[in-house]
Amino acid sequence: MRFAITWFKCRDGRDYIVVCDAPNACFNEVTGRVALRRRFAIGAIIMAKISYRVRPETAVLTKGFDPALSVGSARPPVYRSSTFVFPSPEAAERAFAIVLGKISPVDEDRPDLIYARLNHPNAEILEEQLVPLERGANFAAVFNSGMAAIVTVMLSFLERGGSLIYTQPLYGGTQHLIHQIIEPLGFVAHAVPAGNARALSEAIERCENPRLVLIETPANPTLMMTDIAQAAAAVRRHPKRPLLAVDNTLLGPTFQHPLTCGADLAIYSATKFIGGFSDLLAGAVLAVDPELIQTLTGMRALLGNILQADECWILDSRLSTVALRMNRQSKNAQRIAEQLAKHPRVSRVIYPSLFTDPEQIRIRDAQTDYPGSLVSLEIKNGKTGAFEFLRRLKIAKNAVSLGAVETLVCHPMTTTHSELSAQEFAAAGITESLVRISVGTEHWRDLLDEFSRALDA
């Protein structure tokens, strides 16, 4: 006898999973809904859905997956399937109609899975478990890199004749994307100095057809902060109401929460703190509005840049330790930064707890919880001094990227931001003496000793 599994809402308002041998068991007679997430494996006979609210640390381990439906597996398995079987021709018709935008899902209804380029079980589990980490978020979409997430946002929401307004500096790859793809496609891009709220508001106000405002705060690698709430107010005042997207990679999701400050989208290179081990590439976008995520997943299906099942499975296993890792890294970084600020070979330490500018202090205190683990140093003797410092490191790794459990150090002018022009370097405040440190989870005293020896030599 073959059994079918379905998830349906009963007339008493509760959700149930039912296993039975009826050929039409996959249909919900009340709403017409077809089961989605909870149908992935044979499991329990009848089980009520959890109806109470839990805190993020718990939700990230319990949302989106039920062990009873995966032969008792305590953690989600990997679903390496490129295509998915429909329970009926009607379900297939309906799934394609929803994906193509011909009809809209009802309430929390979602179509059956179709093809892994569009969606797959591990992506859905990961997206649902990501949401509790981002304060204010209701929906998420995952991508196969942070750059994939950013380019999908731009291609989804920039319209012909529309403008992009962005703060500078940005991650070098994002700036390269704007110059090499976005501007040649005919979109107008306006750069505004990070941290200058008046300049950003005026740029939005003057722009005839702004479609997207992109903020990276803190800015990479200068850690300049931009007021998210003021930017949100500025986009709301504009008659065209552009979207506000925040690249939250450097402080999120633990220490900064753009959606609660009025942003429409929070963008991540999930390779960094969310992944945390320098062993995968991933990106994510989170939002309050489901239509924004639906637009992104539609574009994602066309571009084919969804995060694959194995990487989703790995990344999902990291979510419960994001806050633990980020807190340890931030504590390490603050201790190290405050000590290196006293070193005679260091002309300047850039770190949020050491800000002296009143406006930067105000923004820091208003929108961040802790200072994070990125430290930038300006080392005396310019590029030569910076390179000698890097050459002497043994514990810390001379490598790009950030947010990993191992400490990573690089020279932005010649690596991550090397495609910038001389004018862009000057505008961004990136100098040849600047070194960026992403502090890991090692013992902070070992790192401080190494940095001090590398400076002293």
Whole-angstrom distance, CA of residue 59 vs CA of residue 299: 28
Task: For CA atoms 121, 122, 125, 131, give the dihedral sign.
Answer: negative
Burial 126-161 (b: 16+ CB within 10 A, else e): bbbbbbbbbbbbebbbbbbbbbbbbbbbbbbbbeee
Under a CB-based contact definition with an 8 Å cutoff, are residues 408 and 396 in contact? yes
Residue 173, CA distances (Å) to 41, 150, 279, 413 in order: 40, 10, 19, 13
- Residue whose C-alpha is closest to residue 249's, from 171, 354, 185, 175: 171
Neighbours of 11 (CB within 10 A): 7
pLDDT of residue 28: 37
pLDDT of residue 8: 40
Which string of DSSP letters, residue by residue, matches 245-269? EEE-TTTTTTSB-GGGGT-SEEEEE
According to DSSP, the residues that pair with 163 across neighbouring strands are: 188, 210
Whole-angstrom distance, CA of residue 86 vs CA of residue 83: 10
pLDDT of residue 154: 98
In the DSSP assignment, the letter for residue 344 is: T
- Residue whose C-alpha is closest to residue 91's, from 32, 172, 50: 32
Place of tokens 């929803």: 98
According to DSSP, the residues that pair with 287 across neighbouring strands are: 139, 265
Whole-angstrom distance, CA of residue 35 vs CA of residue 47: 14
Name the CA dihedral angle for 433, 434, 438, 443, rounded to a multiple of 10 degrees: 40
pLDDT tens digits, 409-449: 999 999 999 999 999 999 999 999 999 999 999 999 999 99
pLDDT tens digits, 63-120: 888 787 788 888 899 999 999 999 999 999 999 988 887 888 777 667 789 999 999 9
What does residue 167 show for φ and ψ, rounded to 5 degrees? Answer: -85, 150
E strands in 46-157: 46-48, 139-143
pTM: 0.88
Residue ranges of the alpha helices (H) in 100-157? 121-130, 146-157
pLDDT of residue 70: 80
Under a CB-based contact definition with an 8 Å cutoff, are residues 333 and 340 in contact? no
Mean pLDDT, rounded, for 279-296: 97
Whole-angstrom distance, CA of residue 332 vs CA of residue 326: 10
pLDDT of residue 251: 98
Alpha carbons within 13 A on the beta-carbon side of 45? 0
pLDDT of residue 52: 53
pLDDT of residue 26: 40
Whole-angstrom distance, CA of residue 220 vs CA of residue 457: 28
pLDDT of residue 391: 98
pLDDT tens digits, 308-362: 999 999 999 999 999 999 999 999 999 999 999 999 999 999 999 999 999 999 9
Q: Comparing 36 with 280, which gets the higher pLDDT?
A: 280
Joined together, the tokens standing for residue 388 give 């000698």
- Across the chain, mean pLDDT equals 89
Under a CB-based contact definition with an 8 Å cutoff, are residues 388 and 258 in contact? no
According to DSSP, the residues that pair with 284 across neighbouring strands are: 142, 268
pLDDT of residue 102: 86
Provide the angle, in degrees to the nearest 10, between the axes of the packed helices 322-340 and 444-456: 40
| 15 pLDDT more than 70 | no
Joined together, the tokens standing for residue 300 give 């994602």
Please give the domain boundaries of the chain with CATH numbers for all domains.
122-321 (3.40.640.10), 325-456 (3.90.1150.10)
In the DSSP assignment, the letter for residue 103 is: S
Share of the chain above pLDDT 90, in %: 79
| 205 pLDDT more than 50 | yes
pLDDT of residue 40: 38
pLDDT tens digits, 109-166: 677 899 999 999 999 999 999 999 999 999 999 999 999 999 999 999 999 999 999 9
